[in-house]
C-alpha cells in the first residue's frame, strides 16, 4: 500500500483513483487480511451493523428515510457501505446525502478495517469525537462541507496511515495539533475555510509526501516555516486569506513540482525571492494583496508555464522585468496598484495568449509599446491612472477581441487612432483625462458593441459623429457636463443611461429625435428647465426616470409618462401633470412652453431683473451707509447697557440660564468643535433636547449690526423648515457673549470630516455622491445666511465661511430665499468634490466670471480619493 503512495507524486486525484481500484478490486484483496478476520467474522459483522444502526437512529427523520436500506444484520449491501472479502466494513461513503445529525453516536472503534470514510457535503454538526482516533486503519478521511465545530481532536494525529485528510469548509476552531506532524503519509491535507487560528506547528514540514496543502481562509497567524523546502512533492500550495506575516522563505525554491501557488490576501512582506524562478512548473502564481516590496526578480521569466500571474495590491517598487516576455503561456496578468515605475517592456508583445492585462494605478511612464498590437486575444486592457505618454498605438486596431479599453488618467496625446473601428467587440471605452486631440473618428460607428464611452477632459474637438448612430446601448459618463445635443442623432439608440452624472443645463430638444429610445434614465442629475415638447414624438419610450433633478413644467403627453408613478418624477423643482403625487398643471397656452419663446421671455426677465438689482444695489448702499451711521450713535450705548437676547422655539430667559447651566458656563468638556472664530458646544437641556451651541469669540469687534434687520433675519432663519438646513432655535447677542443655538446633528461638520484624511477616505466617492444626491449621509447646512453679520475676515462656519461664498445678491437684499439654497448646494457639491472648502475657487469665479474656463476640474477633485469610476468601484 505504501509503495503505491510513493508513486503517486503528481496527479493526486489520479493516484487516489488508482489506489481505490487496487484496494477494492477483489482480485487484489490481500490474503493476510482474510486470515486475520477468519477468527471471529460474525462478531465483527454484528458489531459493525449495530454501530451503524445506532448511528442511523440518532439521525433526523429525513436522514433515516434516506438510509432505509440500513436494516438487518449484514451491512455489506447497505447503501454507502462497502465490505472487504472478510465481510468487514471497509468504506463508508455517504457524500451528498443531505444527512443531518452528529458524529458522537457513531462508535468508531467498531470499524477496525475501515479504510475510507467520506461523509462530505452533508449537514453533520457538533464536534468531531475523540474516538475517531480508533479508526486505526483509515487511509482516507473526508468530513468536508459539513457543520462540524469545536477543535480538531488530537487523536487524528494518531491515524498515521492517513493519506487524505479533508476537514475543509466546517466551523472548526482552535489550532492545528502539533502531533499532526506524525501524518507523514499524507498526500492531501485540506483544512481551508474554517476558523482555525494560531500559528502552523513547525512539525507540519514533516509531511514530506504532501501533494496538496490547502490552509486558506482561516485565522492562522505566524509565518511560513522556513524549512518548507522539504515539501518537494507539493504541487498545490494554497495558503491565502489567513493572517500570514513575515516573508516568503528562500526554501520555496525547492518546491520544484509546484504548479499552483496561492499566498494571496495575507500580510506577507519583504521581496519575492529570486529562487521563485526555480518553480518552472507553476501555472498559477497568486501573490496579490500582500505587502511584498522591491522588484519582482527577473528570474520570473523562467516560469514559462505560467498562465495566471496576479501581483496586484503590493508595494512592489521596481519596474516590470523585460524577461516577462518569456511567459508566452500567460493568459492573465494583473499587476495593478503596486507602485510599479518605469515603462511597459516592448517584450510584452510576446505574450500572445494574454486575455487580460491590467497594469492600472501604477506609476508607469513612457509610451504604450506598439507591440501591444500582437496581443490579439486580449479582452481587457486596463492602463488607467498611470503616467503613460505618447499616443495610442495604431496597432490597437489588431486587438479585435477587446471588450474593455480603459486608458483614462494618463498623458496620452495625439488623435484616437482610426484603427479603433476594428474593435467591434468593445463595450467600454474610457479615454478621459488625457491630452488626446483631433476629432472622434467617424469610424467609431463601426464599434457595434460599444456601451459606454467617456472621452471628457481631453482636447478632442468636434462632436459625436452621427455614425455612432449604430449604437444601441449607451451609458455615458459625462460627469458635470450638459447633455450633448448630438445624442438625438443616435437613431438606433434604445437604451440611454445618463443617471448620476451631475449633469447640468437643460434637456436638449434634439433628444426627442431619438425615436427608437426605449429606456431613458436621466435621474440623479442637476438638469433644469422643462421637458422638451419634442418628447411627444418618442413613442418607443417605455421606461423613463427623471427623478432627482431641477425640472419643472408639464409632463409630455406620451404613454411612458401617463402610466408612470411618482417614483420616476420625484425630487424635482416643479413638475406638474396628471400623476398622483404631482400637482395638476394650470392651464397655460400650449405655446408658452415652446422653448424658443420661452428663451426670449427668460432673457427679457433676466434683463429686467438685472436692472432692478442694480437700482436696488445703489439705493441699498446709500441706505445702509446712512442708517449705519445713525444707528451706531443710537444703539451702541443701548447694546452695551443691556443683554440682547432673542429666542424662538424656546421660553426666553429660562432657556438662556439652562444653556449656561448645561454647558457649565461653556466648559471645555462640552466642546465638540472649533471654527475660525467660534466654538461649538453640545448641551443637553433639562427637557432632554440636545442642542449645539455655537459661541462666537466676539461679534464684529463689539459692533452690533442694525438690530431690527438682524432680529428679523434670525426670525426668518428660525422659520425655515428645510430638511437639509440645520434648524436654528435661537441666538443670544451681547458685546461679550454671542451664540447661536442649533439643532444637534450626530455626524459633526462636513468640513471636519474632509479635513481628516481617514474619515475622508471612508467618506468615499459613493457616499460623497450621496451627500450631493441627498440620499444617505445627508448633509445639513448650518450658519445659513449668517456669515453676513460677521466681519469678512472671520470665518464662522463650515460652509459659508468667507463672504465670497455668499451669494452676492444675499449681501444686498438680506433676504434668505431659494437662491441661497441653490448656491449653498453648489458650494456643498464643490466641497465634497474637492475635499476642502471651495472658497478660493468661488472667489475666482465670481470675481472674473469670463476668464476662468480653463480651470481643470481634475485639479479640484479630492486628491486623496481614487477616481470615481466603475472599474475601481468594482474592486
Ligand atoms: C419525525 O418528525 C416528526 C415531526 O418533525 C415527529 O412528529 C415524528 O415523531 C418524527 N418521527 C421519528 C421517528 O422521529
Ligand atoms: C478508542 O480510543 C480511545 C482513545 O481515544 C481508547 O481509550 C480506547 O481504548 C479505544 N478503543 C478501542 C476499542 O480501541
Ligand atoms: C528537511 O530538510 C532538511 C534539510 O533542508 C533536513 O535536514 C531535514 O531532515 C528534513 N526533514 C525531513 C523530515 O525530512
Ligand atoms: C534555485 O534557484 C537558484 C537561483 O535562483 C539556484 O541557485 C538554485 O540552485 C536553484 N535550486 C534548485 C533546486 O533548482
Ligand atoms: C483590423 O483587423 C484586421 C484583422 O481582423 C487586421 O488585418 C487589420 O490590419 C486591422 N486594421 C487595423 C486598421 O488595425
Ligand atoms: C435610473 O438610475 C438610477 C441610478 O443609477 C437607478 O437607481 C434607477 O433605478 C434607474 N431608474 C430606472 C427606472 O431604472
Q: Do residues 548 and 570 lie in contact, with contact meaning Cβ atoms separated by under 8 Å?
A: yes
Nearest residue CA, atom 12 of ligand 3?
206
Q: Do residues 333 and 352 lie in contact, with contact meaning Cβ atoms separated by under 8 Å?
A: no
The ligand that comes nearest to the alpha carbon of residue 59 is 1
- Index of the ligand 5 atom closest to the CA of residue 397: 14
Q: What is residue 608's predicted lDDT score, i.e. its pLDDT?
A: 66
Sheet with 690-696: list strands edge to edge: 644-647, 728-733, 738-743, 690-696, 678-684, 671-674
Q: What average pLDDT does the segment 9-18 reach?
A: 38
pLDDT in tens, 623-634: 656 554 434 333
Nearest residue CA, atom 8 of ligand 2?
134
Enumerate residues lining ligand 6, CB below 6 A. Answer: 499-500, 521, 523-524, 543, 545, 568
Distance 276 CA to ligand 4 centre (A): 9
* Ligand 4 proximity of 206 Cβ (cutoff 6 Å): no
Q: Do residues 572 and 547 lie in contact, with contact meaning Cβ atoms separated by under 8 Å?
A: yes
pLDDT in tens, 349-400: 999 999 999 999 999 999 999 999 999 999 999 999 999 999 999 999 999 9
Phi, psi of 534 (to 5 degrees): -60, -20
- Index of the ligand 3 atom closest to the CA of residue 184: 13
Angle at 790 between CA 785 and CA 793, to 5 degrees: 115
Phi, psi of 242 (to 5 degrees): -125, -160
Q: What is residue 781's predicted lDDT score, i.e. its pLDDT?
A: 40
Q: What is residue 599's predicted lDDT score, i.e. its pLDDT?
A: 62
Global pTM value? 0.61
Nearest residue CA, atom 2 of ligand 4?
275
Distance 230 CA to ligand 3 centre (A): 6
The ligand that comes nearest to the alpha carbon of residue 298 is 4
Q: What is residue 36's predicted lDDT score, i.e. its pLDDT?
A: 34
Distance 131 CA to ligand 2 centre (A): 6
- Index of the ligand 4 atom closest to the CA of residue 275: 5
CA distances from residue 595 to 237, 516, 591 in whole angstroms, order as listed: 69, 23, 9
- Index of the ligand 6 atom closest to the CA of residue 568: 13
C-alpha span between 321 and 343 (Å, rounded) = 10
The ligand that comes nearest to the alpha carbon of residue 159 is 2
Nearest residue CA, atom 3 of ligand 2?
131
Distance 106 CA to ligand 1 centre (A): 21
The ligand that comes nearest to the alpha carbon of residue 564 is 6
pLDDT-above-90 percentage for the chain: 46
Q: What is residue 479's predicted lDDT score, i.e. its pLDDT?
A: 60
The ligand that comes nearest to the alpha carbon of residue 136 is 2
Q: Which of 499, 519, 549, 766 to mutate to test the pocket of ligand 6 (most atoms within 8 A of CB)?
A: 499
Q: In a 10 Å sphere around its CB, with 0-12 CB exposed, 13-18 middle and 19+ buried, how is residue 363 labelled?
A: middle
Distance 158 CA to ligand 2 centre (A): 11
pLDDT in tens, 155-183: 999 999 999 999 999 999 999 999 999 99
Distance 140 CA to ligand 3 centre (A): 26
C-alpha span between 780 and 680 (Å, rounded) = 16
pLDDT at 280 over 90: yes
* Ligand 3 proximity of 547 Cβ (cutoff 6 Å): no
- Index of the ligand 3 atom closest to the CA of residue 206: 13
* Ligand 3 proximity of 227 Cβ (cutoff 6 Å): yes
DSSP string, 232-270: TT--EEE--SS--BS---GGGGG-TT--EEE--SS--EE
* Ligand 2 proximity of 550 Cβ (cutoff 6 Å): no
The ligand that comes nearest to the alpha carbon of residue 157 is 2
C-alpha span between 83 and 166 (Å, rounded) = 23
pLDDT at 848 over 50: no
Amino acid at each position: 500500500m505504501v509503495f503505491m503512495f510513493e508513486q503517486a507524486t503528481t496527479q493526486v486525484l489520479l493516484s487516489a483513483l488508482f489506489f481505490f481500484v487496487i484496494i477494492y478490486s477483489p482480485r487484489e484483496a490481500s490474503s493476510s487480511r482474510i486470515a486475520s478476520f477468519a477468527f471471529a467474522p460474525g462478531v465483527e459483522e454484528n458489531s459493525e451493523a449495530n454501530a451503524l444502526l445506532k448511528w442511523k437512529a440518532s439521525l433526523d427523520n429525513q436522514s433515516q428515510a434516506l438510509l432505509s436500506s440500513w436494516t438487518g444484520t449484514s451491512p455489506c449491501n447497505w447503501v454507502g457501505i462497502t465490505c472487504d472479502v472478510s465481510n468487514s466494513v471497509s468504506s463508508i461513503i455517504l457524500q451528498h446525502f443531505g444527512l443531518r445529525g452528529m458524529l458522537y453516536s457513531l462508535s468508531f472503534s467498531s470499524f477496525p478495517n475501515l479504510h475510507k470514510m467520506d461523509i462530505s457535503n452533508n449537514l453533520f454538526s457538533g464536534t468531531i469525537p475523540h474516538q475517531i482516533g480508533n479508526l486505526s486503519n483509515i487511509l482516507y478521511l473526508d468530513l468536508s462541507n459539513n457543520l462540524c465545530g469545536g477543535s480538531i481532536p488530537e487523536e487524528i494525529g494518531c491515524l498515521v496511515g492517513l493519506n487524505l485528510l479533508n476537514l475543509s469548509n466546517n466551523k472548526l476552531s482552535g489550532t492545528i495539533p502539533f502531533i499532526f506532524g506524525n501524518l507523514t503519509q499524507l498526500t492531501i491535507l485540506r483544512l481551508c475555510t474554517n476558523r482555525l487560528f494560531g500559528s502552523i506547528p513547525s512539525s507540519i514540514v514533516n509531511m514530506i509526501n504532501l501533494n496538496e496543502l490547502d490552509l486558506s481562509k482561516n485565522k492562522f497567524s505566524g509565518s511560513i516555516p522556513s524549512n518548507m523546502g522539504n515539501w518537494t512533492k507539493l504541487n498545490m500550495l494554497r495558503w491565502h486569506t489567513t493572517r500570514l506575516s513575515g516573508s516568503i522563505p528562500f526554501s520555496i525554491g525547492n518546491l520544484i513540482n509546484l504548479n499552483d501557488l496561492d499566498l494571496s490576501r495575507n500580510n506577507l512582506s519583504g521581496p519575492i525571492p529570486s529562487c521563485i524562478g526555480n518553480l518552472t512548473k507553476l501555472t498559477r502564481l497568486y501573490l496579490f494583496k500582500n505587502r511584498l516590496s522591491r522588484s519582482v526578480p527577473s528570474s520570473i521569466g523562467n516560469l514559462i508555464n505560467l498562465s495566471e500571474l496576479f501581483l496586484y495590491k503590493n508595494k512592489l517598487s521596481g519596474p516590470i522585468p523585460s524577461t516577462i516576455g518569456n511567459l508566452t503561456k500567460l493568459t492573465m496578468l494583473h499587476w495593478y496598484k503596486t507602485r510599479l515605475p518605469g515603462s511597459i517592456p516592448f517584450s510584452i508583445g510576446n505574450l500572445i495568449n494574454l486575455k487580460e492585462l491590467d497594469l492600472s494605478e501604477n506609476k508607469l511612464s513612457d509610451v504604450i509599446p506598439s507591440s501591444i498590437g500582437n496581443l490579439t486575444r486580449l479582452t481587457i486592457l486596463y492602463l488607467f491612472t498611470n503616467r503613460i505618454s505618447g499616443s495610442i498605438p495604431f496597432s490597437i486596431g489588431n486587438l479585435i477581441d477587446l471588450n474593455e479599453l480603459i486608458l483614462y488618467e494618463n498623458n496620452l496625446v495625439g488623435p484616437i487612432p482610426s484603427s479603433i473601428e476594428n474593435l467591434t467587440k468593445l463595450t467600454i471605452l474610457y479615454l478621459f483625462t488625457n491630452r488626446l486631440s483631433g476629432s472622434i473618428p467617424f469610424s467609431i460607428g463601426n464599434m457595434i458593441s460599444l456601451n459606454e464611452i467617456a472621452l471628457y477632459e481631453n482636447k478632442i474637438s468636434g462632436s459625436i459623429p452621427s455614425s455612432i448612430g449604430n449604437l444601441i446601448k449607451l451609458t455615458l459618463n459625462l460627469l458635470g457636463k450638459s447633455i450633448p445635443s448630438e445624442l438625438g442623432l443616435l437613431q438606433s439608440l434604445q437604451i440611454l443611461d445618463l443617471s448620476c452624472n451631475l449633469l447640468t443645463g437643460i434637456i436638449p430638444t434634439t433628444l426627442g429625435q431619438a425615436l427608437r429610445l426605449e429606456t431613458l434614465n436621466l435621474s440623479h442629475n442637476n438638469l433644469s428647465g422643462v421637458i422638451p415638447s419634442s418628447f411627444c414624438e418618442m413613442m418607443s419610450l417605455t421606461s423613463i426616470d427623471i427623478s432627482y433633478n431641477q425640472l419643472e413644467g408639464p409632463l409630455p403627453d406620451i404613454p411612458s409618462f401617463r402610466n408612470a408613478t411618482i417614483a420616476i418624477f420625484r425630487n424635482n423643482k416643479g413638475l406638474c401633470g396628471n400623476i398622483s403625487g404631482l400637482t395638476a398643471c394650470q392651464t397655460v397656452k400650449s405655446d408658452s412652453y415652446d422653448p424658443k419663446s420661452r428663451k426670449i421671455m427668460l432673457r427679457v426677465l433676466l434683463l429686467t431683473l438685472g436692472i432692478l438689482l442694480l437700482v436696488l444695489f445703489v439705493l441699498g448702499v446709500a441706505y445702509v451707509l446712512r442708517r449705519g451711521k445713525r444707528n451706531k450713535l443710537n444703539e451702541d450705548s443701548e447694546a452695551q447697557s443691556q443683554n440682547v437676547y432673542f429666542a424662538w422655539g424656546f421660553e426666553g430667559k429660562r432657556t438662556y440660564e439652562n444653556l449656561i447651566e448645561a454647558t457649565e458656563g461653556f466648559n471645555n468638556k462640552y466642546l465638540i468643535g472649533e471654527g475660525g472664530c467660534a466654538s461649538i458646544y453640545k448641551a443637553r437641556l433639562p427637557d432632554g433636547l440636545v442642542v449645539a451651541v455655537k459661541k462666537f469669540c466676539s461679534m464684529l469687534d463689539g459692533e452690533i449690526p442694525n438690530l431690527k434687520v438682524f432680529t428679523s433675519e434670525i426670525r426668518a432663519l428660525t422659520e425655515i423648515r428645510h430638511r437639509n438646513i440645520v434648524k436654528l432655535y435661537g441666538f443670544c447677542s451681547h458685546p461679550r457673549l454671542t451664540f447661536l443655538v442649533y439643532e444637534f446633528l450626530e455626524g459633526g461638520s462636513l468640513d471636519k470630516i474632509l479635513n481628516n484624511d481617514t474619515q475622508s477616505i471612508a467618506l468615499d466617492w459613493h457616499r460623497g455622491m450621496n451627500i450631493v444626491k441627498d440620499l444617505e449621509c445627508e448633509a445639513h447646512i448650518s450658519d445659513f445666511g449668517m456669515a453676513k453679520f460677521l466681519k469678512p475676515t472671520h470665518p464662522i462656519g463650515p460652509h459659508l465661511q468667507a463672504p465670497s461664498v455668499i451669494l452676492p445678491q444675499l449681501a444686498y437684499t438680506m433676504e434668505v430665499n431659494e437662491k441661497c439654497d441653490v448656491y449653498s448646494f453648489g458650494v456643498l457639491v464643490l466641497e465634497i468634490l474637492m475635499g476642502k472648502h471651495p472658497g478660493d475657487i468661488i472667489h475666482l469665479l465670481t470675481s472674473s466670471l469670463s476668464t476662468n474656463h480653463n480651470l481643470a476640474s481634475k485639479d479640484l477633485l479630492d486628491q486623496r480619493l481614487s477616481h470615481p469610476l466603475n472599474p475601481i468601484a468594482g474592486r
